[in-house]
Chain A
Amino acid sequence: MKDGSFWNKKVECLPEKELRKLQLERLQKIVSYVYERVPHYRKKFEEAGVKPEDIKSLEDVRKLPFTTKEDLFVDYPYGLLAVPKEEIVRVHTSSGTTGKPKAIFFTKNDIELGAELIARCLVMTGTTRGDVLQNSMTYGLFTGAFVMHYGAEKVGVFVVPAGPGNTERQLELMQLFGTTCVHMTPSYALYVASLIAERGIRDRLNLKRAYLGAEPYSEETRRKIEEMLGIDVYNCYGLSEMGGPGVGFECPAKDGLHIWEDAYLIEVVNPQTGEPVEDGEVGELVITSLCREAMPLIRYRTRDLTRVIPEPCSCGRTHKRISRMLGRADDMFIVKGVNIFPQQIESVLMGIKGVAQNYQIVLEGYNDFLVRVEIEKEFFDGRIERLLQLKEEITEKLRDEIQVRPKVELVEPGTLPVSEGKAKRVIDKRKL
C-alpha cells in the first residue's frame, strides 16, 4: 500500500539538503556519462574548457554549455544518443517549427522513469486504483498520451485510451465507463465542457478531475473549466526532450508546478545573456535530465518562460515549484536596452483596478513603446480626471516593474483582440 496521497513519500518529501546532495551526485554522474558516450557533448565540453571533474557543486552546472534545439539536429537523428541503438525501445518526436521533428529516444528504464514520475503526479492529486482515466491526448509520435498511459497503469488506474477528437464518442465513453479523470489539452477541455453544459449531461458523468497540459493556459481558463464541470483542474508541464509530461505537475495546492528534482535539475536564466536570474524573477527554464539514459540533455534551453516559487509548499513536498508557463522566451522584447516580457506587463495590469482583460503592446521604436489598455466599463463614471489618474497609475506601476516608462493609451473595452490561446499581444512596428 502506498502512503496516503503520496506515491513515493520518501523521495517526494526528501529534506532539502538530501535532495541537493542527491542532485549533485546525479549531475556528476550524468555529466561524466554524456562526456564518455556522446561525442557531440565531449566536443562541446572541450570547447567550453570544462571537464566532468570540474563539477563540484550544483552551481558548477553553470560552467557547462547549454544544449539548444540546434544540438538535437547534429548528426540527426542519433547525434545525442548515449546508448547503443539496441537499447532503444521507443522514439517520440516533437513537431519542430523548423520542419524536421526532434527525435527523442527512450530505453526501457526511461519508460519506467516516466511512469514513476507520472504515478507521483496522479496519486498526489488523488487519482488511484479504482479511478478511470480517459486519455484524450494523441497516441502516436507525440509523448503526451503514452507517458501518461504508462504512469496511470503503474498506479493501477483503469485507462481508457480514447485519443483526441470525436467528441461524441468521448462523451459516450465517459458515460459508459464512468470516467473520473481526463487528460487533454486545455483548449479541447473548454470545448468538451461547453458541449457537456449544452447537452445538460453533467449529472450522467462521474468526472472529478482533469489533467490539462501541452499548451499554456491562464488561471482564468482553469477556473472556467472547473466551474463549468465542477471538477479540479491540474496543470501539467512537460516536453518531449525531457521525456514528455510529468516534468512539472500541480499538487492539490494548485499554486505552481512541482518539478521532480531527483530527476531534473532546473535553472531559470535571462534568455538573452544565459545568466541566472534571482529566485522569483521571470526567465527561461533550463533543464538538465538527471536520470534519463538514452538521451540525457544537459542544460537544455526550453524557451519556456517561468519563475521559481521559492516558498515551501503547503503540501509538504520539498521539490521546487515553478509558476505556470508565462510564455515563450521568443516573446521578449528590448526597449532602451532593457529586456521586457509581455508577462511582466500583464501581471502589473491585472493588478490594477479599472483595467479590463485585454491589452496590447506596440513597439514603435527602440527607445519607447506603447501599451494600449482596455478600461473596465464599470470603472467609467463620466469623470475625465479619474481616467487620467488611471493612466498615471498604470504608467508609474509599469515603470516600477520594468524600469522603462511606457506610453499608455486607454481604449474602450472590447476594442482589442481577444486572448485565445496565442493572442497577439505584441505588435512590432520596428523595421531593422
Chain B
Amino acid sequence: MYEVKVISVFVQNQPGKLERITRVLAESGANILGFSITSVKDFGVIKFLVDKTEEAYKALKDAGFTVALNEALGIEMEDRPGGLHKVVKFISERGVNIENALVYVEESRHRAYFIFEVDDLEEAKNKLEK
C-alpha cells in the first residue's frame, strides 16, 4: 500500500475551465497519471494524481485556482476483469469508507493502482495493513 497526494481543484461549471487547468498542468511539466471529476450542477471538484505534485500544485495556485492537496492511499491491482472488485472488496471488508477515488493505470493490461481518499487516513491504514 502506498501513500500519495492528490491535487483537488474547485471549479465552477463554466466552458473552458478544464481546458485552462490542463494547460497549466501541461506547462508545469507535470504528467497526469489519473484524474476524477465530481460535479454537482453549478460547481465541481477535479482531482489529479500527477508525477510532480509540488510543481503542479504551485503552478495551479499561482494561476489563481482554488486548490488543495489531499492525502490518499494507493493499492496495486491487476488490470483485468475483476481487478477493481477485488481491491474494493478488500477495503470494504475492513470497514474503510472510500470518499473519493481514481485509477492510475501504469501499464495497460498489467499494473494499475486504485487511489482513494478516506475520512481518517491513519485509521484506514491500520485497518488495511492488519
Q: What residues of chain A have their CB less than 8 Å away from a CB belonging to chain B?
A: 375, 377, 380-385, 387-388, 409-415
Contacts and interface: CB of A to CB of B under 8 A. Distances in A.
Contacts of A383: 8, 45, 70, 99
B11 A412 contact: yes
Interface in B17-48: 38, 40, 42-45, 47
Contacts of B117: 382
Given A409-B43, A415-B12, A381 B68 contact: yes
Given A375-B10, A412-B11, A413-B66, A384 B38 contact: yes
B64 interface: yes
A377 B8 CA distance: 12
A102 B108 CA distance: 80
Contact of A382 (B40, B44, B47): B47
Contacts, number: 49
Nearest to B71: A382
B67 interface: yes
Given A412-B65, A412-B66, A414-B64, A380 B10 contact: yes
A410 B11 CA distance: 9
A384 B65 contact: no
List of 9 A-B pairs having minimum Cβ-Cβ separation, nearest first? A382-B8, A382-B68, A382-B70, A409-B42, A384-B45, A380-B10, A411-B12, A380-B66, A381-B68
Contacts of A387: 10, 40, 43, 45
A412 to B, nearest CB: 5
Contact of A409 (B6, B12, B47): B12
B70 A375 contact: no
Interface residues of B, number: 21
A383 B45 CA distance: 8
B70 A380 contact: no
Contacts of A382: 6, 8, 45, 47, 68-70, 117
Given A377-B66, A382-B47, A387-B43, A412 B99 contact: no
A412 B60 CA distance: 13
A110 B69 CA distance: 66
Contact of A412 (B10, B40, B47): B10
A98 to B, nearest CB: 40
A410 B70 contact: no
B108 to A, nearest CB: 28
Given A382-B68, A383-B99, A388-B40, A412 B12 contact: yes
Contacts of A410: 12, 42-43
B40 A384 contact: yes
A387 B13 CA distance: 14
28 contacts: A375-B10, A375-B66, A377-B66, A380-B66, A380-B67, A381-B8, A381-B70, A382-B6, A382-B8, A382-B47, A382-B68, A382-B69, A382-B70, A382-B117, A383-B70, A384-B38, A384-B40, A385-B99, A387-B45, A388-B40, A409-B12, A409-B42, A410-B12, A411-B12, A412-B10, A412-B11, A412-B66, A415-B12
A384 B44 contact: yes
A227 B79 CA distance: 61
Contacts of B68: 380-382
A387 B117 CA distance: 17
A381 B8 CA distance: 8
Contacts of B11: 412
Contacts of A415: 12
Contacts of B66: 375, 377, 380, 412-413
A156 B44 CA distance: 63
Contacts of A388: 40
Contacts of A385: 99
Contacts of B43: 387, 409-411
A360 B12 CA distance: 15
Nearest to A408: B42
B58 to A, nearest CB: 14
Given A382-B45, A383-B8, A412-B12, 11 more contacts: A375-B10, A380-B67, A381-B68, A382-B68, A382-B69, A382-B70, A383-B99, A387-B45, A411-B12, A412-B10, A412-B65
B16 to A, nearest CB: 13
A385 B4 CA distance: 21
A409 B64 CA distance: 19
A415 B66 CA distance: 11
Nearest to A385: B99
A389 B10 CA distance: 15
Q: Which of A381, A382, A414 has most B Cβ within 10 Å?
A: A382
B73 to A, nearest CB: 15
Contacts of A375: 10, 66
Contacts of B38: 384
